Amino acid sequence: MREAMAKAEVGDDVHGEDPSVNRLQERVAALLGKEAALFFPSGTMANQAALRVHTRPGDVVIASRDAHILKYEAGAASALSGLQIKTIGSGGGFEPEEVRAALHPGDVHFAPTTLLAVENTHNAAGGRVFRPEPLERATRAAREAGLALHCDGARLWNAAIALGLPPAALAAPFDTVSVCLSKGLGAPVGSLVAGSHALVGKLRRVRKMLGGGMRQAGVLAAAGLFALDHQLARLTEDHDNAVRLASGLAEAGLGVEGTPETNIVMFRVADDGAFQREARERGVLLGRADPGRLRAVTHLDVTRSDVDEALGRIRSIAH
């Protein structure tokens, strides 16, 4: 990947003249079944730009409980675009009835609801996949209510691999879809938003407003192209390793939250801070999701033997 970055053909991406960025954008648009795509420095910027093009200040966005756009993006939706986020459902999903119930009546006293945002897979729910049938029902209800549709698909690649479906099948209901190159795919930086030519044109202006316009960004795009060529199909290995990790943690008596669907393992402990510190001292890095709830993620730098080694070190804490 670093060799590909060093050899990247570059230009000025602010003016749309970087050939490597253009190839990446065309590739991702095709994978997602959209007309066009735009490269962003980060997933947060990608999501926030998409929210902005679909809404006006004061609007309400419906999202899943503990959605990334609300929980992990530093209050950007309200600070940058003046939006309110109303959460529904549980475990990363929701039903059509919940979408309809969240709509505000057409009355001057109420803020208009203009967008439904879906996260697939859902980070805070442990990498849970929003499956095609319930996804189609929920998005159809939103369409019938006149809402625009955005998918926070930072881990949409994982969802597609888990379901054995092309990414375009999961992206189809949405006006805009964000995807990330720097998580399971292993690129150092970068996300994209795909949609129609018209929406991507609007996104380009918002990206510039947010400070995301870059010049010779082809060095970064080359990493993304390499990742899509070499590291997409292997995501199934991460999923298998997550299942192995979860099984071992459960055998150690830890409160594992079910069998992982993708590459995130959530488990509960009495004192998350102390457990996290002791794990770090043993060379195992765990994230804190919520009070008493820890998060472990498998990725291309974690092998099957690494999982077994980590389990051995964690068992010494649990016991």
pLDDT at 318: 78
Report CA 286 to chain centroid distance, whole Å: 19
pLDDT at 264: 98
pLDDT at 104: 85
CATH 3.40.640.10 in the chain, residues? 2-230
pLDDT for 47-60, tens place per residue?
A: 999 999 999 999 99
pLDDT at 105: 81
The verdict on whether omega for the bond into residue 298 sits within 30 degrees of 0, i.e. cis, is: no
pLDDT at 2: 97
Q: For the residues 252-280, what does the mean pLDDT come to?
A: 96
Q: For the residues 209-219, what does the mean pLDDT come to?
A: 97
Nearest to 275 by CA among 212, 226, 318: 318
What phi and psi values does residue 88 have, to the nearest 5 degrees? -140, 165
Distance between CA atoms of residues 284 and 17, nearest Å: 43
CATH 3.90.1150.10 in the chain, residues? 235-318
- Confidence class of residue 76 from pLDDT cuts 50, 70 and 90? very high
To the nearest whole number, what is the mean pLDDT of the chain? 97
Distance between CA atoms of residues 298 and 235, nearest Å: 10
Q: For the residues 149-178, what does the mean pLDDT come to?
A: 98
- CA dihedral over 208, 56, 132, 163, signed as positive or negative: positive
The number of beta carbons lying within 10 Å of the beta carbon of residue 294 is 22
Q: Which residues contact 5 (CB under 8 A, 6 or more apart)?
A: 219, 220, 222, 223, 226
- CA dihedral over 100, 101, 102, 105, signed as positive or negative: positive
CATH classification code of 2-230? 3.40.640.10
Percent of the chain exceeding pLDDT 70 equals 100
What phi and psi values does residue 163 have, to the nearest 5 degrees? -90, -10
Distance between CA atoms of residues 262 and 282, nearest Å: 25
What phi and psi values does residue 63 have, to the nearest 5 degrees? -145, 170
Q: For the residues 93-118, what does the mean pLDDT come to?
A: 94
Q: Which CATH superfamily is domain 235-318 in?
A: Aspartate Aminotransferase, domain 1 (3.90.1150.10)
Give the CA-trace dihedral at 138, 141, 146, 148, to 10 degrees.
Answer: 10
At how many degrees (to 10) do helices 19-32 and 218-230 cross? 40
Q: For the residues 181-200, what does the mean pLDDT come to?
A: 97
Q: What is the DSSP letter of 298?
A: -
pTM above 0.85, yes or no: yes
147 touches 115 (CB < 8 A): yes
pLDDT at 148: 98
